């Protein structure tokens, strides 16, 4: 929404207000002037200035769609009032209609601002390293493989890998976490995050137009244009409804006067009232502001919804299927136990383990490094054995970490089996081809997972967990959260088949994050992806939880319920007002000023009711 356009709309309404007030003062003989031509000029100016934007909008839409619309209906009603000498009523009608238009524009602008401020965080330029020189180029000129220099305090402009430097990055714009992430060589960084440590050099791994942040920005426009079924139906009804109201108005202008029931002027007057009170302004405004307010509220809570359709669907969901790793859990293992044989001392073993793991990029190695971070630095040269682990020599002894063929330790083996039954992963430690200990690791459950599961249970919504992990690990996580239904060792096609099977009886919501979740996210009635998910899962999902916070699930259900409630309130209220005003006009119980006030007032009330969703 163009801010300058909104400003001009507000100015036009303000000028129209002043002109109407001036006309009222003249009519009340405040200036001792009583000139009908002057009043026509003043009220006519109020009509033209106040109604300009709505008339322009109505004419453009009429030409585009080749059909009349509610804006044209209101212009005709206001113009008709002028024809019968009701200058004040005509100008006040267009004034109130213009005010409702400004409110709707502000609502849309608010929604766009919140969504864009959430996502539009990437800088416009990048500092490219060319040989020994650093040149500033437009972000659109950056190519995959380019080296980008990011100094302290700068926003990172591209998705890339760190090739030089150690630093800390504020990733709150993507993950919502306020604790900065320490990065070093080979760590991935994302566009829109902030380098708060020292200077780093990044190798671009994606075209800027394909970065995670840019993909989110591209989704904003789609979210704004998406219409829910109720809205689409009302748009279709509006097309024919306008013609029906115009026909009713014409018939009322002609038939009562021909039959001698009313005078020509009175018949024309009543016909104009039909144009005013029969216009579906409030009905048309029942949905769009509610959707925009809901999308805006979600954006402020770090949730991107690709359209109101998906938020409406959420209200009908009766089964939620969760992926495990990266969704219910963080997807980052942590060391739970470190057990060694009695004949081996902790020092220097812990330092050897720490320094070996530090030279590996495997996620498990990172977890080991984080656990033993207080260990001493040693001069070690390690070798990575694909599919097995890493090894090194220290003081003429051979040390290995992983799963190697070696002499087993029966006592340690029993302990490891017990921990494996609890869903922990075992990494063995070897010295000279013998098992001397092991490290057990386990993926950590997200802090807000239990809260979300309990909420869904309270709403009588079925819950299931799917994972490609083994049964022990799956059972451990499911039991900790109280999830009764879970299936382990799932491949992507298994997840797809499970969802399809459950869809025969239920409306299914899938929550996932990985590449293997994309088919399931696509086939489910509704798909939600974690913001840290893969590109394809982000594209496939209907809703994206940008900060990876599962407490957003209960929030979304509450938002969906309230949005649907407010939309239904608006529709019922609008229809009742229209029927009541039309009926009152048939019996001559309503004058044009009151019809204008009641009808346009109801439109403003409907919009204000929708704005309550901004506070959810």
Does an H or E element contain 235, and which?
helix 229-258
List, by residue number, the catalytic residues: 323
Q: How many CB atoms lie within 10 A of CB 62?
A: 15
Express each pLDDT in 338-349 by its tens digit.
999 988 888 889
| Confidence class for position 496, pLDDT limits 50, 70, 90 | confident
Give the per-residue pLDDT at 177.
44
- Alpha-carbon span 418 to 435, nearest angstrom: 17
Q: Which residues 6+ apart lie within 8 Å of 478 measured at CB?
A: 465, 484, 486
Exposed / middle / buried, residue 222 (Cβ in 10 Å: 0-12, 13-18, 19+):
exposed
Q: Does the pLDDT value for residue 532 go beyond 70? A: yes
- Report, as an integer, the average pLDDT of 435-458: 92
Please name the residues in contact with 189: beta carbons below 8 A apart, sequence gap of 6 or more.
156, 159, 160, 161, 162, 169, 183, 195, 200, 202
Ordered domains of the chain (ranges, CATH) = 3-116+222-292+561-615 (no CATH), 125-210 (2.70.150.10), 297-329+446-558 (3.40.50.1000), 331-444 (3.40.1110.10)
pTM: 0.68
**Cβ–Cβ under 8 Å, residues 334 and 424:** no
* Residue 353 confidence (pLDDT): 94
DSSP state string for 282-350? HHHTTTHHHHHHHHHHHHHTTEEES-HHHHHHHTT--EEEEEIIIIIEEEEEEEEEEEE-TTS-HHHHH
Is the pLDDT assigned to residue 209 strictly greater than 70? Answer: yes
pLDDT tens track for 44-92? 898 889 888 777 877 887 788 777 777 777 788 778 778 777 788 778 7
- Residue 242: phi and psi, rounded to 5, are -60, -45
For the stretch 124-133, pLDDT in tens is 899 999 998 9
Provide the pLDDT confidence category of residue 436 given band limits of 50, 70 and 90.
Answer: very high
Residues of the chain with pLDDT > 90, as a percent, come to 28
**Using an 8 Å Cβ cutoff, are 220 and 114 in contact?**
no
HEC string for 577-605: HHHHHHHHHHCCCCCHHHHHHHHHHHHHH
Per residue in 172-196, pLDDT (tens digit) is 555 434 446 778 898 888 888 888 8
CA 417 to chain centre: 44
Cis, bond preceding 348 (omega within 30 deg of 0): yes
Strands in 381-505 per DSSP E: 382-385, 389-394, 397-402, 425-431, 434-445, 462-466, 485-487
Residue 288 has pLDDT above 50, yes or no: yes
Decide if 541 contacts 598 (C-beta within 8 A).
no
The share of the chain scoring above pLDDT 70, in percent, equals: 88
């Amino acid at each position: 929404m163009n801010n300058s356009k909104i400003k001009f709309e507000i100015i036009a309404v303000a000028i129209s207000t002043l002109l109407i007030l001036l006309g009222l003062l003249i009519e009340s003989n405040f200036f001792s002037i009583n000139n009908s031509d002057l009043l026509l000029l003043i009220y006519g100016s109020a009509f033209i200035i106040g109604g300009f934007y709505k008339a322009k909008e109505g004419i453009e839409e009429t030409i585009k769609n080749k059909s009349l619309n509610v804006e044209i209906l209101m212009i005709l009603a206001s113009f008709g009032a002028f024809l019968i000498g009701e200058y004040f009523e005509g100008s006040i009608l267009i004034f109130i209609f213009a005010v409702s238009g400004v409110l709707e524009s502000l609502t849309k602008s608010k929604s766009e601002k919140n969504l864009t401020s959430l996502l539009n965080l990437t800088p416009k330029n990048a500092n490219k390293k060319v040989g020994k020189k650093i040149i500033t180029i437009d972000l659109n000129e950056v190519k995959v493989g380019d080296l980008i220099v990011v100094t302290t305090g700068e926003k990172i402009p591209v998705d890339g890998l760190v090739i030089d430097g150690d630093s800390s990055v504020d990733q709150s714009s993507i993950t919502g976490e306020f604790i900065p992430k320490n990065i070093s060589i080979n760590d991935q960084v994302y566009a829109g995050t902030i380098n708060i440590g020292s200077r780093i050099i990044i190798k671009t791994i994606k075209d800027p137009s394909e970065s995670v942040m840019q993909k989110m920005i591209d989704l904003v426009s789609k979210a704004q244009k998406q219409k829910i079924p109720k809205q689409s139906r009302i748009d279709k009804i509006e097309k024919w409804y306008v013609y029906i109201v115009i026909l009713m108005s014409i018939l009322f202008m002609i038939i009562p006067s021909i039959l001698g029931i009313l005078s020509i002027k009175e018949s024309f007057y009543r016909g104009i009232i039909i144009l005013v009170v029969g216009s579906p302004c409030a009905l048309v405004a029942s949905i769009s502001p509610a959707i925009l307010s809901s999308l805006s509220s979600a954006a402020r809570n770090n949730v991107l919804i690709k359209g109101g359709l998906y938020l409406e669907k959420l209200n009908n969901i009766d089964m939620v299927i969760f992926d495990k790793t990266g969704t219910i859990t963080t997807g980052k293992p942590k060391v739970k136990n470190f057990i060694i044989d009695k004949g081996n001392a902790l020092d220097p073993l812990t330092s050897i383990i720490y320094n070996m793991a530090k030279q590996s990029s495997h996620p498990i190695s990172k977890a080991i490094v984080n656990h033993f971070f207080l260990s001493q630095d040693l001069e070690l040269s390690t070798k990575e054995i694909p599919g097995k682990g890493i090894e090194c020599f220290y003081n003429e002894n051979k040390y290995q970490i992983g799963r190697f063929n070696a002499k087993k330790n029966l006592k340690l083996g029993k302990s490891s089996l017990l921990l494996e039954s609890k869903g922990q992963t075992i990494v063995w430690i070897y010295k000279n081809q013998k098992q001397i200990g092991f490290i057990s690791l386990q993926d950590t459950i997200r802090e807000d997972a239990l809260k979300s599961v309990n909420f869904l249970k309270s709403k009588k919504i079925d819950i299931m967990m799917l994972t490609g992990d083994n049964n022990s690990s799956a059972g451990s996580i499911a039991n900790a959260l109280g999830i009764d239904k879970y299936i382990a060792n799932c491949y992507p096609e298994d997840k797809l088949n499970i969802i399809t099977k459950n869809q025969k009886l239920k409306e299914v919501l899938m929550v996932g994050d990985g590449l293997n979740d994309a088919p399931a996210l696509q086939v489910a009635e509704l798909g939600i992806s974690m913001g840290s998910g893969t590109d394809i899962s982000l594209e496939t999902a209907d809703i994206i939880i940008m900060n990876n916070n599962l407490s957003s699930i209960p929030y979304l259900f509450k938002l969906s319920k309230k949005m649907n409630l407010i939309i239904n309130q608006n529709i019922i209220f609008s229809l009742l007002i229209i029927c009541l005003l039309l009926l009152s006009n048939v019996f001559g119980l309503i004058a044009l000023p009151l019809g204008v006030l009641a009808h346009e007032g109801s439109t403003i009330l409907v919009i204000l009711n929708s704005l309550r969703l901004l506070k959810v």
